[in-house]
């Protein structure tokens, strides 16, 4: 899809309109395809060295999310009062957006990095009590309804790893990206450790083995 990068600022040149000033400071807009099937495209708006990331749905809904991100990044509260002005701004963003790759999104970058760290640094164990403690480990389990093997990793350990990696994307988006990359299942399900349910990420052994981890001699937990 071609992009018209010559679009004129929709707000009059002499005006000091808030959105006119923001548009003048936009360096580029990259749109990336949705991670989840039902999601909208994601827009990465580059402004003065910062990147504000919003979905198409968030842009269409109104200026609320954009104002929050702008305040977080620039310390300034935006006064955007007219609905028509906001939608002029959104149409401009859509018009100049250049299509990027899914791999460029912060969620996918974080997903790749976290998966790599799990494969390299996490211990393979048959001791489920370690899941209960939220340790950096994973167990190989057999899911009885479909007799499929999974590597289960405590969610607490993944969240901590996400913080250590400096992931910019919310953990929910990272989870969706890992699913889209074929690293994990759709659900973050529970695993019982000594009778106590522990929320875990269910990774696909095939993905781990393709990374180079040998699971051939590992005992299966039923």
Kindly give the confidence (pLDDT) of every residue in the chain, 222 residues in length, as a single tens digit, with 9 standing for 90 and above. 334 556 777 776 555 568 888 999 999 998 888 766 667 888 889 999 888 888 898 999 999 999 998 998 899 998 887 788 999 999 999 999 998 876 667 788 888 989 999 888 888 888 888 998 899 888 888 776 667 888 889 999 999 988 887 777 788 888 888 888 889 987 767 888 888 999 999 998 888 888 888 777 665 543
- The 8-class DSSP code of residue 151 comes to E
pLDDT of residue 94: 94
Spell out the residues 6+ positions from residue 117 whose beta carbon is closer than 8 angstroms to its own. Answer: 161, 165
User: Does the pTM exceed 0.75?
Assistant: no
CA angle, 44 then 14 then 94, to 5°:
25
**Within a 10 A sphere around the Cβ of 157, how many other Cβ atoms?**
21
Look at residue 92 in the predicted model and tell me its pLDDT. 94
The predicted structure's pLDDT at residue 26: 94
Measuring CA to CA, how many Å separate 120 from each of 40, 88, 142, 213?
Answer: 33, 48, 23, 8
Of 3, 48, 44, give the one whose Cα is nearest residue 22: 48
pLDDT for the residue 1: 38
Confidence at residue 196, expressed as pLDDT on a 0 to 100 scale: 92
Predicted confidence at residue 157, as pLDDT, reads 92
- Residues forming beta bridges with residue 124, ordered by sequence position: 138
Are 90 and 60 within 8 A, CB to CB?
yes
* Cα distance between residue 165 and residue 160, in whole Å: 9
């Amino acid at each position: 899809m071609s992009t018209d990068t010559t679009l004129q600022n929709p707000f009059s040149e002499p005006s000091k309109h808030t959105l006119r000033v923001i548009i003048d400071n936009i360096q580029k807009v990259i749109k990336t395809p949705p991670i989840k099937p039902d999601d909208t495209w994601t827009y990465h708006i580059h402004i003065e060295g910062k990147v504000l990331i919003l979905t198409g749905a968030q842009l269409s809904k109104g200026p609320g999310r954009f104002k929050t991100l702008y305040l977080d990044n620039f310390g300034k509260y935006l006064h955007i009062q007219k609905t028509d002005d906001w939608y002029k701004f959104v149409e401009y963003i859509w018009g100049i957006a250049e299509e990027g790759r899914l791999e460029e999104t912060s969620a996918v970058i974080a997903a790749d990095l976290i998966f790599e760290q799990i494969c390299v640094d996490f211990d393979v164990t048959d001791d489920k009590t370690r899941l209960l403690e939220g340790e950096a480990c994973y167990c190989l389990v057999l899911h009885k309804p479909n007799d499929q093997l999974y590597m289960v990793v405590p969610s607490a350990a993944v969240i901590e790893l996400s913080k250590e990696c400096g992931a910019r994307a919310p953990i929910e988006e990272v989870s969706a990206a890992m699913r889209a990359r074929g690293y994990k299942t759709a659900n973050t399900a529970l695993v019982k450790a000594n009778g106590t349910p522990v929320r875990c990420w269910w990774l696909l052994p095939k993905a781990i083995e393709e990374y180079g981890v040998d699971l051939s001699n590992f005992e299966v937990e039923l």
